[in-house]
Every structure is written in structure tokens, then in C-alpha cells.
């Protein structure tokens, strides 16, 4: 008899267009996991509204993000692809877990501090309690693993704390998830400020590359990418000394499969100009088929609707099993 496959959950907010960092650091790894795990990949639109969104843009980005998920290689037959707000159990369990999450735990969350600083005029309750909703996202599906970057481990650790607290009171209800950190491409940095992670919220548009970006704009951004301030002008793997060069080498490695040693050898005796152009060209060719496939999918709205409806139905069935347990444990009358 086959051993039960482990369950993976992950999601990305449709608060902006998907970036090269999202692809190299997350989605490409998700594709590789599809054959070995039961995977739930979500468009977390409920998380997105902790910051004010344009409604029409949010809808467009959610649909476009689904198209890009599929174009990146996420097969809807192998993976459960869905939109978070289409499965009400996320909000239901989120509220219950709010009541098992401590104020002090939430106040220590790094992302709350960062987003509060950037959105001082809108420090709302959702911004504060979103880790409870994130815990609900993960625990609903009895997830064993959560693919995250190093900077996201804090969220999974809090999720485990909440689950352990709940299990300690009511018995074995939730699976305790583990963070799953991929070996390569886990943290792609900004092209202009390589000390910071590449982010769709980057105020410098040149620092971020988007999956759906035009090739000429991608090349322009790479030509302007920061290398380092020394006079060495040498492509060498030294992250502490040369973070800009290291970031470009990391991107080139992810795009071509070359090792850092092979990259150093390829560009020995060549300047940063040649290197940046080659990195840009490799990214253009990496993203070209994804962009073209996503554009085709966006012309077939009926297909995308069928994918997210089917995904929501499958997700809701799995979530309902967990919610029946939780309702019984906390004393709610069975619906």
C-alpha cells in the first residue's frame, strides 16, 4: 500500500504583478513539488486587502496570477489552484484562531511593523491579525510543509505555536507544519538595492523584474542594475563584499543552471557591462514562453473560471473535514 503523500500549501498575494523573485524563489519550486506532494496553491486575495486596493485591479491581477501560475507549469490537474476568498473556511478558521493567538505574538511580527511604517494612515485590525488568517490558510489543509523563503520562517513558526496551543487544549486536531526552504533561488534581491528582497512594492521600478514585463524593459533594468562600487570590475562570487554582483550571479544561475564557478569562468576578463547584458538576455528567454502562454490563457476566461471553480470545490472539500473537527472541539453546533 502506498504511503500517504504529504500536503503542501502556499500562496501569493495579488497585490501587484508577479515578479522574477516570485518565480525563481517560489513558483518554479512549486512545480517541482507537484509530482511528489498533494499541493494547494492559492491566490491570497483576502490578505491583499489589509492594504487598500483598486477593486477592478485586484480582480484583474487575481485572474492574471492564475494564468501565470498555469503558464509557469502548475498543472491544474496535479495541483489544487484556487482563490482564497472563494473558500469561506479560511475566514471562519481565521476568526477562531484569532481567539487562540496572543496579542504579544502578533505585535512582534516583523511584517506588521514594516507594513505599519509604510501605511501609517491605514493601520487596520486585519494588518495586525493577518498571521492568524495565514495560520488558518495552512492548517485548514493539514499541511505538512510550507514552501517559504528565509524571511518568511517567522510566519510558519507562529502558525506552529498556534496549532500546538490549540492541540494542547483539544487534542490532535492540526498537523504541525514545517517550513520548506528550497536550496536555490530562495531569495532574489532588488536590482537597484541588493540589500533588499525583490518586491512588487519596491518604490524604485528599476529594482524589480515582472514575469509579464516586455523584453526591452527587462534588458533596460538589467543594464542599470547595481554591481559594486569598487574598481575590480570582476564577476566573482563574494556575497558579503559584492552583494549586487552576487544577486546577478544568483539570477543567472537560476536562469541557466550554471554553478557560480562556471559563471566566474564564463566572464573571466569581461566587465560588468557584458555580464549584465547576458543576465538580462537569459531572463528574457526564461520568461518569454511563460509570458506568451499567460497572454493566451487570459484570452480564454472561460477556461480560467473553470480552473478556479474546480480548485475552490476541491479546496472546500478538504477544508470542511478540518472545520468539522474544529467546530466540534470549540463547542459550536454542527451546521
Residue length of the chain: 335
For residues 243 and 48, the answer to whether their CB atoms sit within 8 Å is no
* Cα–Cα separations (whole angstroms), residue 216 to 213, 219, 249, 303: 8, 5, 21, 30
Residue (of 294, 278, 221) closest to 64 by Cα position: 294
Residue (of 169, 174, 175) closest to 330 by Cα position: 169
Residue 311, φ and ψ in degrees, nearest 5: -65, -40
* Positive or negative torsion for Cα 287, 292, 293, 294: positive
In eight-state DSSP terms, residue 23 is I
Secondary structure (3-state) at 180: strand
Give the C-alpha separation, 156 to 163, whole Å.
10
In the set 4, 6, 153, 200, the catalytic residue is: 200
Residue (of 324, 230, 220, 329) closest to 279 by Cα position: 220
Q: How is 192-254 classified by DSSP, letter by letter?
A: S-TTSB--TT-SSGGG--BTT--HHHHHHHHHT----SSS-------TTT-HHHHHHHHHHHH
Cell readout for 174 is: 492540526
In the set 6, 197, 223, 325, the catalytic residue is: 197
Q: Is 325 a catalytic residue?
A: no
In the set 115, 226, 242, 276, the catalytic residue is: 115
* Cα–Cα separations (whole angstroms), residue 171 to 96, 139, 335: 16, 15, 22
* Cα–Cα separations (whole angstroms), residue 230 to 180, 193, 226, 272, 289: 36, 16, 12, 12, 37
Q: Is 200 a catalytic residue?
A: yes
For residues 267 and 258, the answer to whether their CB atoms sit within 8 Å is no
Q: Is 197 a catalytic residue?
A: yes
Which positions are catalytic? 115, 197, 200
Amino acid at each position: 500500500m502506498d504511503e500517504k503523500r504529504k500536503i503542501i500549501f502556499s500562496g501569493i498575494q495579488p497585490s501587484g504583478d508577479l515578479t522574477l523573485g516570485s518565480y525563481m524563489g517560489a513558483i518554479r519550486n512549486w512545480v517541482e513539488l507537484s509530482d511528489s506532494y498533494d499541493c494547494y496553491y492559492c491566490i491570497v486575495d483576502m490578505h491583499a486587502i489589509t492594504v487598500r486596493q483598486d477593486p477592478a485591479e485586484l480582480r484583474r491581477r487575481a485572474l492574471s496570477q492564475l494564468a501565470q501560475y498555469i503558464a509557469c507549469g502548475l498543472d491544474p490537474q496535479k495541483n489544487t489552484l484556487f482563490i482564497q476568498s472563494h473558500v469561506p473556511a479560511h475566514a471562519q478558521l481565521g476568526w477562531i484562531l484569532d481567539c487562540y493567538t496572543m496579542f504579544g505574538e502578533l505585535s512582534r511580527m516583523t511584517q506588521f511593523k514594516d507594513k505599519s511604517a509604510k501605511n501609517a494612515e491605514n493601520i487596520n485590525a486585519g494588518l495586525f491579525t493577518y498571521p492568524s488568517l495565514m495560520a488558518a490558510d495552512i492548517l485548514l489543509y493539514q499541511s505538512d510543509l510550507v514552501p517559504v523563503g528565509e524571511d518568511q520562517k517567522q510566519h510558519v513558526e507562529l502558525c506552529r505555536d498556534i496549532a500546538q496551543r490549540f492541540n494542547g487544549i483539544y487534542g490532535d486536531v492540526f498537523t504541525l507544519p514545517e517550513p520548506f526552504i528550497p536550496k536555490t533561488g530562495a531569495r532574489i534581491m532588488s536590482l537597484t538595492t541588493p540589500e533588499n528582497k525583490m518586491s512588487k512594492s519596491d518604490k524604485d521600478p528599476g529594482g524589480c523584474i515582472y514575469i509579464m514585463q516586455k523584453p526591452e524593459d527587462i534588458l533596460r533594468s538589467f543594464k542599470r542594475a547595481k554591481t559594486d562600487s569598487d574598481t575590480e570590475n570582476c564577476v566573482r562570487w563574494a556575497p558579503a563584499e559584492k552583494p549586487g554582483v552576487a544577486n546577478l550571479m544568483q539570477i543567472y544561475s537560476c536562469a541557466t543552471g550554471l554553478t557560480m564557478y562556471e559563471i566566474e569562468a564564463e566572464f573571466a576578463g569581461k566587465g560588468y557591462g557584458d555580464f549584465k547584458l547576458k543576465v538580462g538576455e537569459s531572463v528574457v528567454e526564461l520568461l518569454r514562453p511563460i509570458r506568451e502562454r499567460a497572454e493566451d490563457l487570459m484570452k480564454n476566461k472561460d477556461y480560467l473560471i473553470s480552473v478556479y471553480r474546480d480548485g475552490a470545490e476541491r479546496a472546500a472539500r478538504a477544508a470542511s473535514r478540518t472545520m468539522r473537527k474544529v467546530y466540534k472541539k470549540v463547542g459550536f453546533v454542527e451546521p
